[in-house]
Amino acid sequence: MHVLPEGELEQKLKLGRPLRVKLGVDPTSSRCPSRLRGSSSTGLREWQDAGHTVVLIVGDYTARIGDPSGRSSERPVLPDEELDANAKRFADQAFRVLDPRQDRSPVQRRVALRS
The predicted structure's pLDDT at residue 63: 72
| DSSP 8-state assignment for residue 23 | E
User: Of 114, 115, 101, 93, nearest to 23 (Cα)?
Assistant: 93
- Tens digit of pLDDT for each residue in 28-64? 776 766 655 555 667 888 889 999 998 888 877 777 7
> Between 1 and 81, whose confidence is greater?
81
The pTM of this model reads: 0.71
In 1-115, alpha helices (H)? 8-14, 34-37, 39-49, 61-65, 80-94, 110-114
- Mean predicted lDDT score pLDDT of the chain: 77
Amino acid at 65: I
Q: How do residues 84-100 score in pLDDT, each as one tens digit?
A: 888 888 888 888 888 88
